[in-house]
A and B are shown apart, each in its own frame.
Chain A
Amino acid sequence: MAVVFVLFLLIFLFEYSYLRSNKRKLRTHLIVYGIMLLSLAYNLAAAWLPKQLNPNLIIEAVLQK
């Protein structure tokens, strides 16, 4: 979990400096951080409950029907 947080902090700092240096709009900042937050949430959830939150289970369940 700690590794995930550190990696996302690095990604955040990198993208923040990129967006700032390129003078992007606030909307672009919000979308980029929104996607980043989704990715972080997925990584944390998958690390917390790897069995239950595996999307392959959905594919298997749909195709078994």
Chain B
Amino acid sequence: MKHISASQLVMLLTIYIYSENAGFLISPIIKTASYNAVLAVILGGVLGLLIVLAGAAVARMNEREYFAVFGKYIVGKWVHIPLILLLAGYMLHRASMSMRNVEDFLMVNHLPTTPETVIAILLGLTVALTVRSGIQAIARMAEVIFFVNLLLLIILTPLLLGIELQTPMLRAFVTNFDLNRTAAGTLQATPWFGDAFVVLFIYPHLKQQIKIRRVAVWGAVFSMILILSYLVPSLLAFGPELAGKMTYPVMEYVRSMRIADFIETLDPFLTILYIPALMLKISLLVYAAVISLARILSLHDYKPLAFSVSAAVVGYSVHFADNTAELLYFMTAYWPSYALCMQLIPILYWFVAKIRGKGAAHPKAP
């Protein structure tokens, strides 16, 4: 079995958590939490980390086997199969939502006359080929994307500071505290980080001596820093009212920068950051779903399922919502509760395993 090292996993988790949230979920959280968005992201990060750690604790109960296989020893076959199908369905739903976000983003900003179906098929083909390449390829992609992100962040940050930011607004992050808005924002931000529970499904691919808690904490901290590096300047540039009404506030912010005559705007750089990172996230979600399906169907080779499952994700993404406004409404109103319900399922396994005692995650000796 090919193994992923601790540093690779930190980079993978960082890119996986921050990519879509920094790109497309900034506006909904600003709308919900206003100035409390920063606090909500930090609290959401901590709560999401607890979900990930619970998932990792379940995975550590049987380090050599996939969760899709050993879960049945904990809760029984007839409870485990519906639950694993629900989890696989959630991961495919999440992948479709992310893919729809990319499609809308490309259509609005770069490919306005291209049919959505064509964009979706091309993205689906990329995802299917990445999934077929395996987890090692996904981890190596994450390494490259992480360093490109870091480089662009270092280059772009001084330029971002050149824009007229309303720095006195920083005071409002502390003075405008509102418990209801913070709680609503935290509810929205928790599943962003809780999504990293996907490590539960790829655990046998990690090196055995890996310190999963430390890796998860660093992944959450790095992604939090990256998300806040987009969220805070957007708030300071536009204020909560205007930023909450924009679909892509970060894009608008970067577009308003002029650094030289030979570069009209800097938004292509942002696209360079977003698209590969999102493709990585979608690929990891589809990989986790495909490998779980393959294991419950007792298939040792998951690869022949990659194209079929990616095709379902493509179809779902196209029919996910009628327009961007409907998609944003779903992501704000329904998705956080749905995601939390699904992300808490591994905790159910953890409780049952604790009640059943040591060896609950292993087959009974004949």
Contacts and interface: CB of A to CB of B under 8 A. Distances in A.
A4 B315 CA distance: 9
B334 A50 contact: no
Q: How extensive is the interface on chain A, given as a class?
A: 20 to 34
Nearest to B294: A31
Contact of B334 (A15, A47, A59): A59
A54 B311 contact: no
Contacts of A11: 307-308, 311
Contacts of B362: none
A39 B319 contact: no
A30 to B, nearest CB: 10
Given A22-B301, A28-B304, A55 B121 contact: no
A53 B320 CA distance: 10
A63 interface: yes
Contacts of B321: 56
A37 B303 CA distance: 16
Contact of A54 (B117, B304, B320): B320
- B interface SS class: helix
Contacts of A24: 301, 304
B316 A39 contact: no
Nearest to A64: B334
Interface in B313-327: 314-316, 318-321
A31 B334 contact: no
B338 A35 contact: no
- A interface SS class: helix
Contact of B304 (A3, A7, A19, A63): A19
Contacts of B348: none
Interface in A21-65: 22, 24, 28, 31-32, 35-36, 38-40, 42-43, 46-47, 50, 53-56, 59-60, 63
A31 B300 CA distance: 12
Contacts of A32: 299, 304-305, 308
A19 B301 CA distance: 10
Contact of B117 (A3, A50, A60): A3
* Closest 7 pairs (CB-CB, A-B): A43-B315, A39-B312, A36-B308, A32-B304, A39-B308, A50-B319, A11-B307
Interface of A: 3-4, 7-8, 11, 14-15, 18-19, 22, 24, 28, 31-32, 35-36, 38-40, 42-43, 46-47, 50, 53-56, 59-60, 63
Interface of B: 89, 93, 117, 121, 293, 297, 299, 301, 303-305, 307-309, 311-312, 314-316, 318-321, 330, 334, 337-338
